[in-house]
Amino acid sequence: MYGDEQSQEVHLNPITNKWDPDNSRKQRHVSLAIAYNILNYYNLTNDEKFLGEYGLEMLLDITKFWIDKSQPEGDTGKYSISNVMGPDEFHEDYPGQENKGLKNNAYTNIMVSWLFKKVSALIKSQPEDVIDNNLKRAKFTKNDLTKIDDIRHNLKLDFDGNILGQFEGYFDLKRLDFDKYRQQYGNISRMDRILKAHHDSPDNYQVAKQADALMPLFNIKEADFLDILADLGYPISNPNKFINDNIKYYIARTTHGSTLSRIVYSMLMLKVGETNTAWELFYEALTSDYYDIQGGTTAEGIHLGVMGATLNVVTSFFAGVDYRGNLLEITPNVPKQWQKIEFKMIFKGIHFEFEISANDLSITVDKDTAVIFDGKELPLTANQQITLTY
């Protein structure tokens, strides 16, 4: 690789046995995933050496890219990001257009705003020499600092009442008759291939391969997600209703053509109390390679991404150990199918051991620290197991 584009340009549709264009290179949000992992790694480890020598420079370079992609929307004071795709790979263009991508994808814009907010905070919190060295290496100017604060408050999103639009113009698309295609094909997970076999396109419909507009709720804490919406000028007056309405809206339009979709919606179903559906989606993802649910892919290689993601669901959502804050926050949701979850983890240099059952939670640490439990800070003493009932 020499820094040139590596995404494939065509892919085979096994229904038509023809090669279709592949525009996945427009999924610019992959750079946001890199930034997300850098920030997660730093929060988990407090690895100042990594951040100072490598991580911050990468974050600044990624930020510069998104400054360039964020263009003023006339004299409205708003910014738009165009010619992109979201995580939902069914939607590559608007109906009747070709190779122009989408405008104001919700996932992209929300995560850009989140990144800019995080970078601004890091620049204020890191030692001056570290900041100066990284700003110089990344050629990041004072003007760039001013721009990220302006952009992160003014990126556009699309709403229809209480529903967050997957991208600008999403609500103008046609509704899809899912039952019609289920009766004909049974498995409609790859609705894109089915529609193209009918000389149609998923670009014309409200249908998704996987989670997209709701992906930020998987990536970041709910409170942070709502803060970003408020920062962008879209405050949510009733968060519970907003989240419930949006999950209900989008799961009805999602075919789970990617096994990773089941992971995200498993967590989202857990969030709204649909524990049985959460378990079913998790189990389908967990066993997806074993049962080869995508029709022949297992022989060519297992999906490491979904394997890692199922482990994350176990520890972060079923065990409920959320590592995305300054302290671990614990909210167990142990499935009725399991008696107990046991695991270890290292957070900010402290070794934690967890035993979590349907009603009890035991924690052991090797250094004095604290966790958030039941909404309150709970002190922990080194080498003394504490057991809590919830």
Across the chain, which distance is largest between two alpha carbons, in Å?
65
d(CA 88, CA 99): 16
At residue 17, the pLDDT reads: 79
For residue 1, pLDDT beyond 70? no
pLDDT of residue 201: 95
**Nearest Cα to 360, choosing from 372, 342, 375, 378?**
342
* Beta carbons within 10 angstroms of residue 18's beta carbon: 11
In this structure, which amino acid lies at residue 257? G
- The CA-based angle 155-34-192, given to 5 degrees, is 75
More confident residue, 12 or 131: 131
State the amino acid at position 387 in one-letter form: T
What is the CB-side half-sphere exposure of residue 168 using CA atoms within 13 A? 15
Amino acid 51 reads: L
Per-residue confidence band for 14, with pLDDT thresholds at 50, 70 and 90 = confident
Helix or strand (DSSP H, E) at 177: none
Q: Give the pLDDT confidence score for residue 238 in this predicted structure.
A: 98
Residue 111 tokens read as 């995560």
pLDDT tens across 290-346, in order? 888 877 788 888 889 999 999 999 999 999 999 999 999 999 999 999 999 999 999
What the block records as the tokens of 157 is 């999103």
Checking if the pLDDT of 347 tops 60, the result is yes
Task: Quick: pLDDT tens for 231-243.
Answer: 999 999 999 999 9
Residue 139, Cβ density class (10 Å: 0-12 exposed, 13-18 middle, ≥19 buried): exposed
Neighbours of 192 (CB within 10 A): 23
Reading the block at residue 221, the tokens are 């804490």
Per the CB < 8 A criterion, the answer to whether 320 and 330 are in contact is yes
Position 98 scores a pLDDT of 83
User: Comparing 98 with 368, which gets the higher pLDDT?
Assistant: 368
- The gap from C-alpha 312 to its chain's centroid, in whole angstroms, comes to 13
Give the percent of the chain with pLDDT over 90. Answer: 87
- Rg of the chain, C-alpha, whole Å: 22
Question: Of 73, 42, 206, whose CA–CA distance to 150 is shortest?
Answer: 73
Give the percent of the chain with pLDDT over 70.
100
**Distance (Å, whole) CA 64 – CA 148:** 9
- Sorting pLDDT into bands at 50, 70 and 90, what band is 286? very high
Q: What is the mean pLDDT of the chain?
A: 95
pLDDT tens-digit map of 113-157: 999 999 999 999 999 999 999 999 999 999 999 999 999 999 999
Query: Quick check: 155 and 104 in contact, CB under 8 A?
Result: yes
Bridge partners, residue 350, by sequence = 347
Residue 157: what are its φ and ψ, rounded to 5°?
A: -130, 160
pLDDT tier for residue 9 given thresholds of 50, 70 and 90: confident
Phi first, then psi: what are they for 374, rounded to 5°? Answer: 55, 35
- Given the residues 48, 73, 89, 353, the one annotated as active site: 89
**What is the dihedral sign for C-alpha 312, 315, 320, 324?**
negative
pLDDT at 79: 99
Rounded Cα distance, 33 and 76, in Å: 29
Question: Is 377 a catalytic site residue?
Answer: no
CA 175 to chain CA mean position, Å: 25
The answer to whether 380 and 371 are in contact (CB under 8 A) is yes
